[in-house]
Chains A and B, each alone.
Chain A
Amino acid sequence: MNIVSAARRGLAILIPVAAFLALGSRVPHFLDLSNLLNVVRQSSITGICAVGMTFVIVIKGIDLSLAGLLAFCPMISGVLMLAGVDPPASMAAGMLAGIAMGLFNGLMVSRLTVPAFITTLVVGQISQGLALTINGGSSIGAFPDSFVFIGNGAIGGIPLSDLLLLAFLALGFFIERLTPLGNHIYALGGNETVLRQEGLSAARLQFFVFGFSGFCAAVSGLLLSAQLDTVQPTQGDAYQLDAIAACIIGGVDLAGGRGSVPMAVIGALIIGCLRNVLDLLGIHPFMQNVFIGSIIIVIVYLSGVIRRHGELATRGTL
């Protein structure tokens, strides 16, 4: 990595940080420690989803099943918990459901060549429907203390949610940088032909990536329910947009092959800060969605412009 690109990458982090510090100093209470910890806690849901989503986008996919899974998986666990099954086993069931749905996405994408946005949209819809059906469309709550503790407890003053986010960040980073698997995932996003020539199976990678995204969604949904001590069957809606926005703000390229987990998590934190600041300024969540929806489009546009410019420069003409 040369100095210019290092500097550029540094700037990409520094500018938003500076912007938010500047903005934060003008918004009362934004920079309070308790508020910042709260921001991280709220961002953990988005952040964990973004870890799984990063790999999906890297292989040129998108996961629109988050909205459904974020409700469906904890709904399963919640119903089991209320039925007296002990929390770890119930949570495991929810996670397995998430993984299964993710693997199904992988199956549709790899074997039936269905575009990712369609199959994940469908799986999300099925999950949403099931989440509503399981309890007749109403919320459940009042879970065992041990479960609620995961969402609201702290160890050494640091919220457990934040630690969980950190754990997923570490897991994502580990896969990305320290395993051959990570290299193969990026290769699949970069040039599938080369990957096949090396005798690597694209299908297997697609299974893994979508399965992992399903797992992240399940954990994230469970954490959300633990934080709120309820499972609300449409609780996922708000987070899907944020997870996609987090990845895109973090520089994960929709054209595939580029992006990293830590940057996506930073993107989640930026979204968290943005929502927090807008909340503190009294701006309604709906208006916030208008902002974030527009930001996504603009960033995807700009990254496309930059990419095409780069391609032209390296390839030349004639």
Chain B
Amino acid sequence: MLEPLVSMRGITKYIYGGDGRPLRNTDVKILEGVDFDLFPGEVHVLVGENGAGKSTLMRILGGVIPPDRGELKIAGARVNLADARDAREKGVAFIHQELNLCANLDVAHNIFLGREPRRRGLKDAGEMYRRSAELLKALSTDLDPRLSVARLSTAQQQLVEIAKAMSFRSRVVIMDEPTASLTKREIDVLFDLIRRMRSEGIGIVYISHRFEEILAIGDRFTVLRDGRLVGTQPIQSFEPNSVIWMMAGRSIDEMYPRTHAVEPEPVLELRGLRLATHTPPIDLVVRRGEVVGLGGLVGSGRTELAKSVFGARRFHSGDVRYLGRKTNGWSPARLIRAGMAYLSEDRKTEGLIPPMSIRENLSLASLRSVAKLGFLSRPREERQAGRLIRQLNIVARSSEQLVSTLSGGNQQKCVLGKWLCTAPRLLMLDEPTRGIDVGAKAQIHSLIDQIAGAGVAILMISSELPELIGISDRVYVMREGGVVAELEAGPELTQERVVACMV
């Protein structure tokens, strides 16, 4: 057996609190005791849902962040990586999904940024262009090293990053969803390149959600779920349904409360909504008192759909009908007044104002209801805050505590509380239980049921299949910007069926 290029053992990473200290005593960890190996000349595919810990694991390998516990060996030697640069000097190159180039510089200047060839102290541009051209040629591309990166396509930018990695003689190349915005032809070119790198003994970690690609290029695959290793297997045993099951399937070990009843009156109707030029039209309906789940893999357009409805994003064409009125082009403020609410998956920058207090955050979306003639009534606001803190079980010293100092679960309850104050008719929840502990999760599930029971229409985006299936009355599954299936709750609605629609 070859010696592994990379060997990671028992890697653990805690969640960090608002005060910058790790939270060791919750049951939620970003990574917990993960083992990972990479051999020379193999493409090791890493799969898992968003938030499963793939990126964190790779950021640790790439030296971007240190692990809280565990051991990392590169080429047999135990290492502590100081930073990304240190990792690269030890032969690990990280090609991020968000490409890391300076768009205002040309190709050669990007490749040699910080180590420009010099002659008598000056930049030796001639040498730099010559060496860049050589590197690019070795990748069988005739990209001109004098082109500005801003003018390159994503695929070409990726080539520049790979050329840069090669210029360091990297032994390990991490690619985070490299095909996310490539065309079919560009993907073929990339795969040829990956195969050549593999034949030269380079180890490649390949993060992807696209199964056909994984089958085409991978040698082994590893599945992560909730920060834990589910398993590592040879690609021959890769079977989409079973892999999705490994990624998302959980034994249903909790009862989802279901006391609400669906009424016939539609609240939200989408007619021929197209999110972008190249995506298919979407038809969708959410009724009073109904919980509609929105499933799909990351990047399938679920968040974009919610944001399009909420007026926070422009869509291509089609109609949004809310409470019987066409609301295309309405601002979030106007929609909120009309009773629409959107709980974002990004709590910190889209859900809360962290330096403000719980009270102020709770009332932010419904200031009119705690005001008279434009003047805020502090007692009313405090009563409202106190009531919500009790009802939602928000653990806080007082309503004046800043939300930045709360735990994830309590922050999420604050966002939910903020929307409850607006007396919503339609509540869109985007990953409502991501990154929060089990206790808070169960509370939020129960709240969703109660809210629906009060006649609110709920559209819930979730990557967690048991949650999606357990709470929803109906589930739409999205793929590549369109809705590909609509499944009614009942014995037919199983994790396997949803999974089958997702790929």
In the complex, A touching B (Cβ < 8 A): yes
Chain A residues engaging chain B, CB cutoff 8 angstroms: 1, 177-180, 182-184, 186-187, 189-191, 193-195, 197-200, 257-258, 310, 314, 316-318
Q: Contact: A194 with B102, CB < 8 Å?
A: yes
CB within 8 A of A180: which of B118, B146, B278, B279? B118
B residues near A197, Cβ cutoff 8 Å? 83-85, 100
Nearest-CB residue, chain A, relative to B116:
A180
CB within 8 A of A194: which of B101, B122, B275? B101
| Interface residue? B312 (CB, 8 A) | no
Which of B102, B109, B278: most chain A CB closer than 10 A? Answer: B102
Known contacts A190-B103, A257-B103, A314-B150; decide if A199 and B85 are in contact (CB<8 Å). Answer: yes
A residues near B123, Cβ cutoff 8 Å? 177-180, 182-183
B residues near A187, Cβ cutoff 8 Å? 102, 105, 109, 113
Nearest-CB residue, chain B, relative to A198:
B114
Known contacts A191-B100, A199-B85; decide if A310 and B109 are in contact (CB<8 Å). Answer: no
Q: Contact: B104 with A318, CB < 8 Å?
A: no
CA distance A310 to B276 in the complex (A): 18
CA distance A179 to B128 in the complex (A): 12
Q: Contact: A186 with B105, CB < 8 Å?
A: yes
Chain B residues 117 to 160 lying within 8 A of chain A, measured CB to CB, are 118, 122-123, 125, 146-147, 150
CA distance A180 to B115 in the complex (A): 8
Q: Contact: B114 with A190, CB < 8 Å?
A: no
B274-317 contact mask (Cβ, 8 Å, vs A): 1 or 0: 01111100000000000000000000010010000000000010
Chain B residues engaging chain A, CB cutoff 8 angstroms: 83-85, 100-105, 109-110, 113-116, 118, 122-123, 125, 146-147, 150, 181, 275-279, 301, 304, 316, 481
* Interface of B (DSSP majority class): loop
> What would be 19 A-B contacts, judged by CB atoms less than 8 Å apart?
A1-B147, A177-B123, A179-B123, A180-B116, A183-B113, A183-B123, A186-B102, A186-B105, A190-B102, A194-B101, A194-B110, A194-B113, A197-B85, A198-B115, A199-B83, A200-B113, A200-B114, A318-B279, A318-B304
Known contacts A183-B109, A199-B114, A318-B304; decide if A190 and B104 are in contact (CB<8 Å). Answer: yes
Which of A178, A191, A193: most chain B CB closer than 10 A? Answer: A191
Q: Contact: A258 with B100, CB < 8 Å?
A: no
CA distance A194 to B96 in the complex (A): 11
Nearest-CB residue, chain B, relative to A178:
B122
A residues near B277, Cβ cutoff 8 Å? 317
B167 to chain A: closest CB distance in Å? Answer: 12
Q: Contact: A179 with B122, CB < 8 Å?
A: yes
B75 to chain A: closest CB distance in Å? Answer: 22
**What 7 A-B pairs have minimum CB-CB distances, sorted nearest first?**
A198-B114, A190-B102, A257-B104, A190-B104, A318-B276, A180-B116, A317-B276
A26 to chain B: closest CB distance in Å? Answer: 39
